[in-house]
Amino acid sequence: MIQLKQFLFQFFTYPDLFEVDRNFSSLFKKDFMLRVLELQQRIEALVGTTDSGERVSLSDVCHAPLRPDNDACNVQSVWSYWQDSKEEMLRAETNKKTGHEDTYLDHFMLCSRNPTLQTAPTAMAQGCMSKGGIPVQPYFVLGGYGNKKEEGEGYTSQ
């Protein structure tokens, strides 16, 4: 039996750090993103057992291109822009130059434009690369978008 479901995403307007009103998909609402992170962390914590009884986790089989210097798995997720950290995503600070309250949405906009930024020019001065030091391309993690990444149709994780 096949069951089809349709999801309708609403948009919300956010005045970004460039003083441009951006329409963000509801996929970027904070509570939804936090639930996505929780799901991702639960998946990453899964442990299996081989036929011979050996326990196997993601870190045993993942692509970790910077190993042995960095054991972080190359998990391509929108959360990589915040190094898979709830605390980093929730940070917000007033930009001293503009008076704008810079948030996770501003950080996302900058990182999706240049995923290799060591420090995004927001008041939080966060990096854009994953906790493994790997750039995360928006066309991988958003699943489908045009030129407006904030209006992404979905998340993917690889």
Query: Global pTM?
Result: 0.82
- Are the C-beta atoms of 149 and 142 separated by less than 8 Å? yes
pLDDT of residue 143: 72
On the question of pLDDT at 1 being above 90, the answer is no
pLDDT > 80? residue 84? yes
- Give the percent of the chain with pLDDT over 70: 85
3-state class of 121 per DSSP?
coil
pLDDT for the residue numbered 156: 46
Return all residues near 16 (Cβ < 8 A) that are at least 6 apart.
Answer: 22, 105, 106, 109
Contact between residue 31 and residue 41 where contact means Cβ atoms under 8 Å apart: no
Residue 17 has phi, psi (to 5 degrees) of -70, -10
Please state, rounded to an integer, the average pLDDT across all residues of the chain: 87
**Residue that wins the pLDDT comparison between 49 and 149:** 49
pLDDT of residue 135: 93
For 13-54, the pLDDT digits (tens) are 999 988 899 999 888 999 999 999 999 999 999 999 999 999
pLDDT of residue 26: 86
Give the model's pLDDT for residue 148.
Answer: 57
What is the predicted pLDDT for the residue at 152? 52
Q: How much is the pLDDT for 157?
A: 47
Residue 144: the pLDDT is: 60
